[in-house]
Amino acid sequence: MPDYRKTPEALAQLTPTQYRVTQESATDRPFDNEFNDHREPGLYVDVVSGEPLFTSLDKFQSHCGWPSFSKPVEATNVVEKHDATHGMKRTEVRSQHGDSHLGHVFDDGPRDRGGLRYCINSASLRFVPLADLEKEGYAEYRHLFEK
Helix (H, G, I), strand (E, B) or coil at 110: coil
Virtual torsion, Cα 42, 27, 8, 38, nearest 10 deg: 20
Return all residues near 31 (Cβ < 8 A) that are at least 6 apart: 65
Distance of CA 63 to the CA centre of its chain: 17
Distance of CA 117 to the CA centre of its chain: 12
Handedness of CA 12, 95, 144, 36 (dihedral sign): negative
Q: Kindly name the residue from 43, 93, 119, 133 that is annotated as catalytic.
A: 119
119 given a catalytic annotation: yes
- Give catalytic residue positions: 119
